[in-house]
């Protein structure tokens, strides 16, 4: 344990001292893997030779078996329905819903004026879930102050208030009797508490924000059976909002509009990266049947927009699926027997920027050129840090063809990281690394 602590101290300091496009710090005895998701030969990706129709009305695991809700939602005296001129409209402005043409086309046909934003924008109410680019928080729960394994600075409630709409994280089960925990690679490294507590917080936020749709992506780090995840979802109450798609996989144009998801109160898209079984549990979506991802935990500032997971997927299939652009730059640190990926902190102002080399804006432009549509999710570390407050949200707004209010972010704090920081910690890097290596030699 002491060795791990000493090594982590070295890693903490080293994260401030890099600047090249792809960085690897090497040491001795590099034997422990620090992968940010489940790895190994036991992993498999479901291959769907044909589309499966899911049971959305009855049976164990169907979303309709969750707590029933009225089709008309009333909160604080406001009803979410389009049946009365005095009630909030959720029709939105008309837009071209053909995904392959991107986000810019609009229709000139007359439509009612929407008075209520969906996910922050009136324009989104009439747009399909698959036709919106959203900001995702990579390792959302890992916002533990003073822990170098943290990927965020602000808690999940603040993330959602600021506009984050995908929450991604790892789930671990340390032993047979332990609850599902939110840990970063190892629960010795960072333990952010139980899955049920976290999901309860998300459900409470959805209760208070009835016009928003949130996506929860759980990393099945220990490759558990999917039934392990149903208990925490039901116990948290999040099941009442769980969206069940009509089929698996889901083509792009089959996704509902945000307005439809809000009116039916199916406002939580819940996914599992490995071992999902949508026939048994229709509302627990198989991530890689519905999404693909660019390279995970990238260390390359070019951020290539190729399909990394699922591997070897045909381009024709990828072109008809949602996709996540992993835009969280890491440093691959190998020292004193550990190999870990840690956030490239000193480059956050550039990585989360609207434009420039290695920026989120440049990545979205490249992906749009490659796939004729922007990413569904821009997954980032420390979303509150960038070229200005909320710059990653500006990138998403530009991809969506809407206007972003720069005064709406971020929480109560904003950190700026610059090159001067690396000079202040250079002596700490040397001391901590030397201490860790010296301990190995004792």
Active-site positions read 138, 184
Q: How far apart are CA 15 and CA 218, in angstroms?
A: 26
Q: What are phi and psi of 424, to 5 degrees?
A: -70, -30
| CA atoms lying within 13 Å on the CB side of residue 411 | 17
Instruction: Report the relative pairing of strands 186-194 and 214-220 from DSSP bridges.
Output: unpaired
| Other Cβ atoms within 10 Å of 402 Cβ, number | 15
**Contact at 8 Å (CB) between 135 and 164?**
yes
Measured distance between the N- and C-terminal CA atoms of the chain, rounded to whole angstroms? 15
**Contact at 8 Å (CB) between 348 and 385?**
yes
């Amino acid at each position: 344990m002491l060795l791990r602590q000493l090594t982590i101290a070295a890693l903490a300091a080293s994260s401030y001292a890099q600047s090249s496009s792809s960085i690897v710090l090497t040491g001795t005895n590099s034997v422990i893997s620090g992968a940010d998701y489940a790895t190994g030969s036991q992993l498999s990706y479901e291959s769907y030779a044909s589309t499966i129709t899911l049971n959305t009305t009855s049976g164990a695991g169907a979303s309709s078996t969750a707590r029933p809700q009225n089709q008309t939602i009333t909160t604080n005296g406001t009803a979410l329905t389009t049946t009365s001129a005095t009630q909030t409209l959720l029709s939105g402005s008309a837009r071209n819903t053909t995904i392959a043409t991107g986000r810019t086309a609009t229709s000139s046909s007359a439509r009612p004026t929407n008075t209520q934003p969906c996910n922050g924008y009136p324009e989104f109410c009439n747009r399909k879930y698959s036709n919106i680019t959203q900001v995702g928080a990579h390792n959302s729960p890992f916002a533990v102050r003073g822990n170098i394994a943290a990927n965020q600075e602000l808690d999940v409630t603040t993330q959602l208030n600021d506009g984050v709409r995908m929450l991604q994280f790892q789930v671990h089960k340390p032993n047979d009797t332990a609850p599902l925990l939110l840990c970063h690679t190892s629960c010795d490294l960072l333990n952010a508490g139980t899955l049920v507590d976290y999901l309860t917080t998300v459900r409470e936020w959805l209760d208070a924000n009835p016009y928003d749709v949130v996506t929860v992506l759980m990393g099945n780090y220990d490759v558990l059976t999917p039934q392990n995840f149903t208990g925490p979802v039901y116990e948290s109450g999040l099941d009442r909002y769980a969206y069940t798609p009509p089929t698996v996989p889901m083509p792009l144009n089959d996704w509902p509009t945000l307005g439809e998801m809000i009116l039916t109160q199916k406002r939580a898209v819940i996914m599992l990266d490995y071992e999902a079984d949508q026939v048994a549990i229709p509302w627990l979506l198989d991530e890689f049947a519905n999404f693909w991802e660019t390279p995970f935990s990238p260390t390359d500032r070019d951020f290539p927009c190729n399909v990394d997971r699922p591997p070897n997927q045909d381009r024709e299939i990828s072109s008809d699926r949602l996709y996540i652009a992993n835009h969280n730059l890491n440093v691959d640190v190998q020292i004193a027997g550990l190999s870990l990926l840690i956030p490239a902190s000193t480059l956050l102002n550039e990585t989360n920027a609207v434009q420039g080399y290695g920026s989120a804006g440049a990545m979205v432009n490249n992906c749009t050129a490659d796939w004729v549509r922007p990413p569904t999710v821009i997954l980032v570390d420390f979303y509150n840090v960038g070229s200005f407050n909320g710059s990653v949200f500006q990138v998403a707004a530009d991809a969506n063809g809407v206007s972003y209010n720069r005064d709406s972010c971020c929480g109560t704090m904003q950190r700026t990281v610059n090159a001067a920081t690396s000079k202040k910690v250079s002596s700490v890097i040397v001391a901590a690394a030397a201490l860790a290596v010296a301990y190995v030699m004792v």
